[in-house]
Amino acid sequence: MSVAGIDCGTNSIRLLIAEAAPDGSLRDLVREMKVVRLGQGVDRTGEFAQEALERAFAAAEEYGEACRAHGVTSIRFAATSAARDARNRLAFVEGVRSRLGVSPQILSGEEEARVGFAGAISGMPPGTESPLLAVDLGGGSTEIALGTMTGELLGAYSMDVGCVRMHERHLGADVPDSQAVEAARRDVNLALDAAEEHVDLGAAKGLIGLAGSVTTITAKALGLRSYDPERIHGTVLSVDETLATCEWFLSSTRAEREALGFMHPGRVDVIPAGALVWGEVVARAAARIREAGGELAGITTSEHDILDGLAMWAARDPQPPSWRGSEPSPSRG
């Protein structure tokens, strides 16, 4: 069966159409990403901007056409941080349903972490030592999940820090000054303090980084001329390499970032904030693992994340779009 997962975050909306095998494995048919900045201003206003909704709806229409063309029988569409925060989320839900034929599930932070972790481990090689810490760094929030390669979740927490939220709150200047950077670091570390009440960072045997900020930082560390997901997926960087690359983005100018061949135009302004968040998470995890008597030998970057988890969910618990003659289930699953 052909299934689709759609991940609508604060910064981007992504589509995965895949062929699902009986054993639950997926074979990619289509992977697409559009930056629609749905969360534009939500941290400040508490509402979706009309122009942001229109950008998201236009992408939903395009994705619906792609799903029809590939004969998709089940779609899982998840909305995350921005939709959790926006008072006018029902306008978003109705707009998506009318264009795509399914109602978006607005995932809680823990649900987002769970689906993201399932997607992350699906891309790891068999025999990978666990527990693993998977960190999904999004636009409005960052999910931290600790679990095993069998899918058992040992702890999860969603932090209200992400590349768009920290950009809008602190790091909007071309090159942020030291006061702005320190204010952003304080926000992230307060969120990490709260996360540690739910997730034992020191128990991790490895760290996996997910989503666009992390993959962009990895592309820079690898010195890529253009974005190459096959090179990026599975890359293992040292803690020092990761932190040094994060610091480069924090001190870079917009022109320097725009000159990077792998940089998506919709990420140019927010990647310094994403790098700050990622650097603080990596430093905290490395410190806690060291305190527990271990050593974080490297950080793995994965191209498999919540999007894969959503497609797996679509195969496991079908939600047919209304244009296939069956009304979608309103359940959140």
Q: Across the chain, what does the average pLDDT equal? A: 93
- On whether residue 205 sits in a domain, the answer given is yes
Residues 68-127 have pLDDT tens digits of 999 999 999 999 888 888 999 999 999 999 999 999 999 988 899 999 999 999 989 888
Token look-up 């994060």 returns 246
State whether 176 and 267 are in the same domain: yes
> How deeply is 128 buried, as exposed, middle or buried, from its count of CB atoms within 10 A (0-12, 13-18, 19+)?
middle
Residues 23-38 have pLDDT tens digits of 888 999 999 999 999 9
State whether 75 and 156 are in the same domain: no
Mean per-residue pLDDT for 129-140? 94
Q: Assign 298 a pLDDT band (cuts: 50, 70, 90).
A: very high
> Can you tell me the distance from the alpha carbon of 157 to that of 229, in angstroms, rounded to the nearest whole number?
27
Which amino acid belongs to residue 222? L
- On whether residue 114 sits in a domain, the answer given is no
Residues 261-294 have pLDDT tens digits of 999 999 999 999 999 999 999 999 999 999 999 9
Q: What pLDDT is attached to residue 325? A: 64
- Domain count for the chain, please give it: 2
Q: What pLDDT is attached to residue 328? A: 42
Per DSSP, the three-state class of 254 is helix
Q: What is the CATH number of the domain that holds 163?
A: 3.30.420.150
State whether 146 and 295 are in the same domain: yes
- On whether residue 333 sits in a domain, the answer given is no
State whether 229 and 195 are in the same domain: yes
- On whether residue 26 sits in a domain, the answer given is yes
> Can you tell me the distance from the alpha carbon of 288 to that of 141, in angstroms, rounded to the nearest whole number?
22
Mean per-residue pLDDT for 298-314? 95
State whether 93 and 141 are in the same domain: no
State whether 97 and 155 are in the same domain: no
Q: What pLDDT is attached to residue 250? A: 96
Name 30's bridge partners. 17
State whether 298 and 320 are in the same domain: no
State whether 129 and 160 are in the same domain: yes
Mean per-residue pLDDT for 230-256? 97
CA nearest 155: which of 164, 165, 144?
144
Q: What pLDDT is attached to residue 235? A: 97
- On whether residue 309 sits in a domain, the answer given is no
Domain that includes residue 192, residue range: 124-303
- On whether residue 115 sits in a domain, the answer given is no
% of the chain at pLDDT higher than 90: 88
